[in-house]
Amino acid sequence: MTTVTYLDHAATTPVDPQVVAALGAVLAEGLGNPSASHAAGRRAAALIDRARLQVAALIGTDPAHLVFTSGATEANNLAIAGHAAGLNSTQRRGAQVLGLVTDHKAVLSPLRRLAEAGFVLTLLQPDAQGLLSPQVLAAALGEGAQLVSLVHVNSETGVMQDLPALAAVCRERGVALHIDAAQSAGKLPLSVDGIDYLSFTAHKLGGPQGIGALYVAPQRRVALQAQIVGGGQQRGLRSGTLPTHQIVAFGLACQLAADRQPELAGRLSGLRQRLWQGLADLPGVLHNGHPQHCAPGILNLSFTGVEGESLVDGLSELAVSTGSACNSSSGEPSPVLRALGRDTQLAQASLRLSLGQTSTAADVDVAIAAIRRELSRLRALSPDLPPPVADWQAAGWVVAQGEGGERRLGTWVRCLLALDGPVIRAARFQVYGCPQTLSVCQQLAGRLPGLPLAHAEVGSPQQWLETVAAPVEKLGRMLIIEDALRAAQSSALQPFAAAGV
């Protein structure tokens, strides 16, 4: 089995072995419900209290100001929806909530839900490098502004917002500020000074999935309304039996992250620079985001002239993302990169390479070699290049060619046929398209030689569903291949028809 180099730490980090051991030990101990008054329950509660201290220390706050959640998404929803629900009737009249158009769906979706409920939603536009200026924020705050919700470090580009400057604007205007720190907690120095709510999660810093926390400033706790109700745990802000094993694991992960953070940040910055220097000399490579105001472990690049899905498909030895983990399986262009000015093709042909605690220089070198190889391979297939037919012409064969589709449609195919009379002697395809399109063209190049020109066929949709596992929604791209073949046939058959062949 091929070893896969993991460069997707921004999606989730491998759980630290020490954390795995701690989590397993708590499960093996068979503790009681931490709400219970018997010994097993008190033992669980004591472990949670210790972990709460470790988690609070990571962001420099009192442990009483934390609410444990299932992750950053739930913490975001509690902060945004819970704050809105706690507004009085006067505050709700014309209430404005603000976010950044390039932020994560876990922030934007609850904000949009408030807009559906009648709140005034203002989505701010960052500059071309992804930064939100304090002046833009200040100018956007209306009289009814109640909450600003922002992501500290963008999960796709790694762009890092200036929290002290933005917090100062909110504080001056008396507007609550919520920060999603999922990508920065444990990786960058972080303070809750001037911040009303701060969300973070264990699985981005070496802990398990399924556990996170929300910091709530003391002055906001009274009005914040719970979104999950039941037994009244955590002072009524988030009901439900606390998962002792996950919280203990979260606490240890936070402690380890805090101990390692200064060294890790410097090491990741060096690896990120090594990665960028290994690719920057390639033609058509574009850096997405700000070169200085960025997290040390995230590098986002777009590549001109290649189709994004085929690029990722060819990088079988790498675990990377084409964007945020929530969007990468959809095939849609990243809204973050589109908002930063990249067109659809560039947004789709992007890679997010994210480094973490386990990343090494050898991992970076593997990534550099693989990306360079795949860019070279795909660009050699591109219809942007002149038709490679010199050897056919030297052999005295007639060359026929035809095209289908175009780049802006996501599929562009040039069919080249070498003819000896009415018989196909060789076939080549130049392709810009998805992996299934490339695979069909490759198979046709081997299947068409020896056939009479008039009998050349692409094949049925059912055949390609089975042969290259093409999803139903991609069968239209097979028709583009057929268009290219038909155009090549048509251009070649005309002389034969005129000659009566």
Quick one: three-class SS letters along 353-419?
A: EECCCCCCHHHHHHHHHHHHHHHHHHHHCCCCCCCCCHHHHHCCCEEEEEEEEEHHHCEEEEEEEEE
Encode pLDDT of 379-421 as tens digits: 999 999 999 999 999 999 999 999 999 998 889 999 999 999 9
Q: Within the chain, which residue ranges are assigned CATH 3.90.1150.10?
A: 262-380
- 156: number of Cβ within 10 Å: 29
Judged on CB neighbours under 10 Å (0-12, 13-18, 19+), 103 is buried
Structure confidence at residue 478 as a pLDDT band (50, 70, 90):
confident
CB 136 within 8 A of CB 122: no
Residue 326 is a catalytic residue: yes
Of residues 326, 415, 434, 441, which has the active-site annotation? 326
Q: Is the pTM of this model over 0.75?
A: yes
Stretch 227-244: mean pLDDT, rounded? 95
Tell me which CATH code domain 65-240 carries: 3.40.640.10
Joined together, the tokens standing for residue 329 give: 């399986």
Query: What is the pLDDT at residue 499?
Result: 43
C-alpha count within 13 angstroms, C-beta hemisphere, residue 352 = 30
Angle between helical axes of 244-279 and 361-380 (0-180°, round to 10): 60
Domain 262-380 has CATH 3.40.50.300: no
Judged on CB neighbours under 10 Å (0-12, 13-18, 19+), 164 is exposed
Joined together, the tokens standing for residue 296 give: 């040390």
Across 147-151, 274-278, 327-331, least confident range: 327-331
For tokens 């399924």, the residue is 210
Three-state SS string over 214-258 comes to EEECHHHHCCCCCCCCCCCCHHHCCCCCCCHHHHHHHHHHHHHHH
Distance between CA atoms of residues 388 and 416, nearest Å: 9
Q: Within the chain, which residue ranges are assigned CATH 3.40.640.10?
A: 65-240
Please choose, from the candidates 320, 282, 10, the residue with its C-alpha nearest in 3D space to the C-alpha of residue 157.
10
Helices and strands (DSSP H and E) totals, the chain = 17, 15
Stretch 81-101: mean pLDDT, rounded? 96
Stretch 21-35: mean pLDDT, rounded? 94
Stretch 457-480: mean pLDDT, rounded? 81
Distance between CA atoms of residues 303 and 308, nearest Å: 8
pLDDT at residue 182 greater than cutoff 70: yes
Strands 411-420 and 398-406: antiparallel
Backbone φ/ψ region at 415: left (φ over 0), alpha (ψ -120 to 50), beta? beta
Looking at CATH, the fold of the domain delimited by 390-499 is given as Sufe protein. Chain: A (3.90.1010)
Q: Within the chain, which residue ranges are assigned CATH 3.90.1010.10?
A: 390-499
Strands 285-287 and 176-180: unpaired
Q: How far are the Cα atoms of 55, 76, 113, 274, 384 from residue 226, in angstroms, in the given order?
A: 21, 12, 16, 46, 57
